[in-house]
Amino acid sequence: MRVTFVLPVVPPLAGGIKVVFRYSNELARRGHTVSIVFPAQMATLPPDEWLGLKSRLRMVKHAFLRWRQGHPVEWFDLDPQVRFLELPNLQDHYLPEADILIATSWHTARWVNAASLRRGLKFYFIQHYEAVMGPNAEVDATWKMPLRKIVIASWLKELSEQKFGEPIYDLVVNGVDLAEFYNEHKIYHSPQRIGMMYHTAEWKGIPDGIRAFELARAKHPDIRLVMFGVYPPEIPLADYMKFHLKPYGESLRQLYCSFNIFLSPSWTEGNQAPPMEAMACQCAVVATNVGGIPDYTLPGETALVSPPKEPERLAENLVTLLDDPAKLERISQAGYHKIREFSWENATRKIIAAFERALRE
């Protein structure tokens, strides 16, 4: 098959982009022709056939950097067989001919919806309800478009069917790469290290996570909080907190391996990867019951979960594990064995089956 993924911008280091890259690699390694395309200017802007000097210079700069580096992005090992194309805009005549054309965000859904069938059967790969990030009316309108919708979590399927009355073509829960995230010799550190991803978006619930940590620290004053993320913290860090900027690959794996507990305090998510990666590295997960958590955990068995926006409940779960090292170890090991069920091999097999089904219809 010829498959095109349509991104809205130059790919940043972000979880949703990493998922697209991962599927691109998996498809390419199975002999499919894969293209990743994105516009020189943000997809929400009106198309400009005659790009300004700034956009043209940016395209030249990006092309030079990709040539010099030998790969498109430094934070992901994209398969060289994957075509990585920066286009002047996302109008039909710039898109490559393909069998499958995939919108990867609300920004690109309208472009894919307007494309001719020469560019492929039209899919909408939905990784979140993006009204938390974009204008509600415009985001909601994309859910009504006649695109085959693939979602990555059960709650997105329910949202589509109940809020929009739109059927879902398939539900494909993300995988985790056990060759990238693993822990050969699990060590439960003392003093105990609690990990958390830092983000500036309000819905990531970072203040709730810090509040939960502080409440737990009142009972266990020797614990440490270790955060990481792509944005530097906008808050002062106490001497018992540490932050790592943009870890990826082996550096990120080693961070996970250094945590006894991973804390995920989000108010909403699509299908968050960090708890999956932490479980693969044998961390015990304490999380809010949002996004993919209901799909890949068993509450009380493989993770301790609580409702969002209730930091006191998160703190209670932290203290439960801090008070009981044997339970912490049981949760971390049960989580590790559970998350092994979610492989990229299985996810890719399922998404290929969805594409092939559409081509037969």
Q: What is the pLDDT of residue 168?
A: 97
Q: Per-residue pLDDT averaged across 225-248, rounded?
A: 94
**DSSP symbol at 180:** T
Question: Which pair of structure tokens corresponds to residue 272?
Answer: 């968050």
What distance in Å separates the CA atoms of residue 283 and residue 46, rounded to the nearest whole number? 46
Q: What percent of the chain is modeled with pLDDT above 70? A: 91
- For residue 85, count other CB atoms closer than 10 A to its CB: 14
pLDDT digits (tens, 9 = 90+) for 19-56: 999 999 999 999 999 999 998 866 555 555 445 555 55
Q: Per-residue pLDDT averaged across 48-69, rounded?
A: 54
240 has pLDDT over 90: yes
Q: What is the pLDDT of residue 63?
A: 56
Q: What is the CATH number of domain 193-339?
A: 3.40.50.2000
Where are the domain boundaries for CATH 3.40.50.2000 in the chain? 2-175+343-360, 193-339
Question: Which pair of structure tokens corresponds to residue 104?
Answer: 């990867």
Q: What is the pLDDT of residue 76?
A: 87
108 vs 42, 121, 136, 178, CA distance in Å?
Answer: 10, 15, 15, 31
Give 103 or 51, the one with higher predicted confidence. Answer: 103
Q: 117, 74, 8, 136: which is closest to 358 by C-alpha?
A: 117
pLDDT digits (tens, 9 = 90+) for 277-300: 999 999 999 999 999 999 999 999
Give 131 or 19, the one with higher predicted confidence. Answer: 19
Q: Per-residue pLDDT averaged across 70-78, rounded?
A: 76
Q: What is the pTM of this model?
A: 0.89
Q: What is the pLDDT of residue 74?
A: 78
pLDDT digits (tens, 9 = 90+) for 154-189: 999 999 999 999 999 999 999 999 999 999 999 888
Q: What is the pLDDT of residue 50?
A: 47
Q: What is the pLDDT of residue 42?
A: 60
Q: Per-residue pLDDT averaged across 2-22, rounded?
A: 90
Q: What is the pLDDT of residue 135?
A: 82
What distance in Å separates the CA atoms of residue 101 and residue 90, rounded to the nearest whole number? 12
**Weakest mean pLDDT among 83-92, 240-249, 331-340:** 83-92
Q: Per-residue pLDDT averaged across 100-122, rounded?
A: 96
Axis crossing angle, helix 311-323 with helix 206-219, rounded to the nearest 10: 40
Question: Measured in whole angstroms, how far is the alpha carbon of residue 125 from the centre of its chain?
Answer: 12
- Work out the mean pLDDT of the chain and round it to a whole number: 92
pLDDT digits (tens, 9 = 90+) for 270-280: 999 999 999 99
Q: Per-residue pLDDT averaged across 265-272, rounded?
A: 96
Helix/strand/coil for 207: helix
CATH class of 2-175+343-360: alpha beta
325 has pLDDT over 90: yes
134 has pLDDT over 80: no
11 has pLDDT over 50: yes
